[in-house]
Amino acid sequence: MDGNWRDPDEDEEEEESEASNDIQTGRDSLIFLIDVTEGMFVKSEETGNIPFYLSIKCLKTTLENKIISSEKDLIGVIFFGSEKDKNPNEFKHIYVFQDLDQPGRERILEVEELLDDDIKTFKDKFGHSNNFSLSDALWTCSTVFSNCKTNLSHKRVLLFTNTDNPHAENKQLQQQAKIRAKDLFDLGIEIDLLHIKKPGVSFDITEFYQDIVYLSEDEQYEKVPASEKIEELLARVRIKDHKKRSLGRLTLNLGKHVELAVNVFNLVRAATKPYAVKLAKSNNAELRNMTKTYAGDNGEILMPSDMKKYQEYGGRKIFMEIDEVNQIKHFDDPGLVLMGFKPKSSLKLHHHIRAGQFVYPDEKSISGSTRLFSSLLQRCLEREKVIICRYIPRKNTPPRLVALVPQKEEKDEVGVQDIPPGFQLVFLPFSEDLRKLNLESKQEPSELLVDKAKEIVKKLKFRYHPENFDNPAIQKHWRNIEALALDRDKPDDMEDHTMPDQEAIENRAGKLIEDFKTLFPGGLQEETSGKRKQGASTGGAAKRAKSEELVNVDIKHEAEAGQLGRLTVNVLKEFCKKHGIKAGTKKADIIDAISNFFGIG
């Protein structure tokens, strides 16, 4: 925020903010480089999909997702293999459809229009040609990136095509494209391939594209097969449309100067609804907010150096300078320090206090890290051990104990990585974080009852994966905003995946649930509200009677001692009633009234 300094109370929260930890300052940028030759417009008999429209749907989804998750990222769209051309270098058959910019209303509408057009309209507008040069297309990407006025930290091209061997007849063009791809990589531009399957033909990446794809080392990956389904393609785009950002680079110290470098990542973090900005009602212009900090007595504006921090315990305030507060939080340099090993079984599910993180070696900072990391991972997996470490994520952050849990790589059905290889970082509680509960709840349900419950469980069994549940509050919010932004009549319909499918449950287990309930002839419901009300009223009467007795407390004495606050409202009210003191309903008001009655200030 311009013009204001940091909220002085905010610094207390230890929540990781990636922005504060991220040294890179630029923005993520992404170019969709889409093949628009005629081959991309052939409908698959099998799936009914048209490869070009699959690509555009991916683009639209990515634009929408970016708006939700990272609206500052820049996206551009370039067609290659069109008849017409529009590009800064005046290459033939290259068409910059959308220059690199933040996504927004106009861009989405443009893309929607593309989707609404039929194949013929596209041909009329852009045309098709096989006389393009992929080298030119790549060079155009590079130009678009370098013409961008914004400081870019990460540049990536996603290339959509269904032809595994372009320029098959022209080895020279192929060679140029390969050299160009390497040039781009040297300029810090990564190129990734989103290959779409042609019906009946396999996409052979070794024909040509393996020399075009350039990714940074820790993302290099064995090739996945070409997709023909929108879901698969979208899943692949989702993984690739953003930069992998680490929370920070740390050392893992094993003792005796043995250190390896690791990167720590957040792979799961609760997404939230965005904050609102303020507009002027008069003209819908965005307003800037400014925060003033001032002294409560004379209104004098305070600068950070005019303020002190304090903690208050037992009525005593302990003042500290802001620097001193940081010093108290400082224990050691950031990093992970080995404390020892424990069996994996020593971890307790019910000790969960915070979402975990993920640890992966960083070969760049200390070479050999990957090998040592790999040794630890292998042996811990084999021996079912976890590594207990002291973890200081950042400077001036107090330490926590964590367990590094070894994790094997797992892939999904289509070969896309589902679970990466590395250590999960699990936060362990301190004794302050655990509560003693005196639960005395143990029953001996009949075997019949347990069996019925088992049957219900069996009938309602499904395979859980978090990808299948979206957040209805966030989805609804964005659908509303989207509808308003794009002048839709009403927001898109939304299925609420957090609500049980009542009908399906009824069909599958309705009878069993009824059976289960009949085993409780008295019912399972709480007492009816009618009953409770009755109970409450008698309780009230009892209370009144009791408080009458208690008015014998020396109210005057308590008032003089300023101790009226210790008494219950009932007692105070009773006293007022007895002495005809008029008072409000709030405790503070009643106390004031009684104090006045005794003539105490």
Site for another protein in 105-124 (CB under 8 A): 105-108
Positions 269 through 298 that interact with another protein (CB under 8 A): 269-271, 274, 276-282, 284-297
Name the segment binding another protein (CB under 8 A); options: 47-55, 125-133, 511-519, 591-599: 511-519
Q: At residue 329, what are phi and psi to the nearest 5 degrees?
A: -80, -15
Positions 203 through 222 that interact with another protein (CB under 8 A): 217-222
DSSP class of residue 208?
T
Member of 126, 424, 583, 597 binding another protein (CB under 8 A): 424
Q: How far is CA 185 from the centre of its chain?
A: 29
**225 is an interface residue for another protein by CB under 8 A:** no
Residue 85 half-sphere exposure toward CB, CA atoms < 13 A = 17
Positions 122 through 161 that interact with another protein (CB under 8 A): none
**477 is an interface residue for another protein by CB under 8 A:** yes
Residue type, 495: E
Question: In the bound complex, what is the minimum distance in angstroms from residue 203's beta carbon to another protein?
Answer: 19
Site string for another protein, 24-43 (x = CB under 8 A): --------------------
Positions 534 through 553 that interact with another protein (CB under 8 A): 547, 550-553
Member of 33, 34, 59, 428 binding another protein (CB under 8 A): 428
Nearer Cβ to another protein (106/124): 106
DSSP letters, 354-413, are S--EEEEE-TTTSTTHHHHHHHHHHHHHHHTEEEEEEEE-STT---EEEEEEEE--EE-T
Member of 148, 474, 576, 593 binding another protein (CB under 8 A): 474
Nearer Cβ to another protein (173/381): 381
Q: Which residues pair with 410 in a beta bridge?
A: 419
**460 is an interface residue for another protein by CB under 8 A:** yes
Member of 366, 372, 381, 600 binding another protein (CB under 8 A): 372
8 Å CB contact between 150 and 76:
no
Member of 395, 517, 544, 577 binding another protein (CB under 8 A): 517
**601 is an interface residue for another protein by CB under 8 A:** no
Question: In the bound complex, what is the minimum distance in angstroms from residue 412's beta carbon to another protein?
Answer: 11
Q: Which long-range contacts (CB under 8 A, 24 or more apart) does 493-502 make?
A: 496/472, 497/468, 497/469, 497/470, 497/472, 498/469, 498/472
**What are the Cα distances from residue 312, in Å, to 7, 144, 318, 327, 397?**
20, 57, 6, 18, 21
Positions 8 through 27 that interact with another protein (CB under 8 A): 8-9, 11-12, 14
8 Å CB contact between 131 and 4:
no
Please tell me the distance from the alpha carbon of residue 278 to that of residue 282, in angstroms, as a whole number. Answer: 12
Question: In the bound complex, what is the minimum distance in angstroms from residue 78's beta carbon to another protein?
Answer: 19
Member of 417, 576, 587, 595 binding another protein (CB under 8 A): 417
Positions 160 through 189 that interact with another protein (CB under 8 A): none
8 Å CB contact between 274 and 481:
no
Q: Which residues pair with 13 in a beta bridge?
A: none
**334 is an interface residue for another protein by CB under 8 A:** no
Please tell me the distance from the alpha carbon of residue 313 to that of residue 259, in angstroms, as a whole number. Answer: 41
**380 is an interface residue for another protein by CB under 8 A:** yes
**487 is an interface residue for another protein by CB under 8 A:** no
Nearer Cβ to another protein (48/462): 462
Place of tokens 């200030």: 601
Member of 204, 520, 534, 584 binding another protein (CB under 8 A): 520
Nearer Cβ to another protein (128/385): 385
Q: At residue 348, what are phi and psi to the nearest 5 degrees?
A: -110, 125
